[in-house]
Amino acid sequence: MDFSEPSEAVQIKQAIDDFIDQEVAPLETEYDEFLGADYEKHIVDDDHRQVPEYRALVEEIRQKSVEAGFYGMTMPEEVGGGDVDILTRAIVGEHVANRPPGFHSAIFGGAGGPTPILLACDDRQREAYLEPLMAGEITTCFALTEPGHGSDAHHMDTRAEKDGDEWVINGQKVYITNGPYADFAMVFARTSGEDGDLGGITCFLVDADTPGFEVGTIHRAMGMTPGTHAELHFDDCRVGEEQVLGEVDHGFQSAMDWIGGGRINIAAGAVGTAQFLLDMSVEYARNRETFGKPIGHRQGISFQLAELATDIEQTRQLYRYAAWKMDQGERARKEESMAKLRGAKLANDAADIAMQVHGGAGFMKDLPIERNYRSARVFRIFEGTDEIQRRTIARELI
């Protein structure tokens, strides 16, 4: 069994380091108000919408990433992607997460960038949506979650009814990442069957300027980049048959496949974040002295760091095994959920331990620990809560 990193992952990590040093770091220096202790008040206006200067900066990094070949690198070569496998993408994601908060999160596009769901596009849809998305000219959003249905997404209130050659969509989505800024949304709605059926759900490509489609409240989220999540409202929103992605009534499985891959990326990002916090804490423990010796020599500190280092390595091997199984074409639903469950706990534990090791210094906004402390909490919620992961693991076992 070979535990070494794929050579492609090693090469991409080096290339991304060079890219960040040459293209992203200068922007971080120039626009440090977007990253500092009071970054939140600089990023959004009174309506919680991101200010144009920040949006322009994100778009600039996205275009640089497209030119460098990192944007959409997991997509097939036939659509302009790099055809990078799931394991390599996860390893690269861990590597990028192992650094202080910065603009590097825009390199891959996040929830607004290319997604394998769109490989179901027909020729016209590829030209209208997928090609400009791959070129970084437009962005999208994944509109699945509803106010009354988060974890039980197949109990969906949003409906689409056929009216001649059109579909009429009515409903509401909530907490949609990139919702305020997407040029089009991938909207999931029930088109047939009974409430709770896994079938009978269809994905529609809905342009942001379609009558009846409006962005509602832009949410204030804890720890995450402000102004990113929003409610989406559909009031007699009419779209043509040509806006159906894939087959009618068969959209839910594609949504779950997207979420499954996202769980691995979350686990990888959690490992990278935890490694960053561990490295900070180890360095601090080496140099901070109390009562005549470094605090790292005291078991109360060193044992916490030892446990954290062990947890990081365990979760790293778990997410990589899950990614490897997926790349082999094997079912990995159990391993995806295990990796996400452990990764979510790891990110929170790492932030807590780092703050405790740093003491009062860790509680201050001068260090990135408190920001990571707030950001880590959502790991236990999105792409399926801890409880949903345990439920999935139990179902796979039984």
Supply the residues annotated as catalytic.
383
- Write down the H helix ranges in 44-119: 52-68, 86-97
- Which of 184, 232, 230 is closest to 212 using CA atoms? 232
- Please, what sign has the CA dihedral across residues 325, 329, 335, 341? positive
Angle at 56 between CA 50 and CA 57, to 5 degrees: 95
How many Cα atoms occupy the beta-carbon half-sphere of 14 within 13 Å? Answer: 6
> In terms of Cα–Cα distance, which of 55, 108, 345 is closest to 228?
55
What per-residue string of b and e applies to 305-330 under the rule 16 or more CB within 10 Å gives b?
beebeebbeebbebbbebbbbbeeee
* Pairwise CA distance, residues 191 & 248, whole Å: 8
Q: Tell me whether residue 391 is exposed, middle or buried, using C-beta atoms within 10 angstroms of its C-beta: 0 to 12, 13 to 18, 19 or more.
A: middle
Would you say the C-alpha torsion 155, 159, 164, 165 has a positive or negative sign?
negative
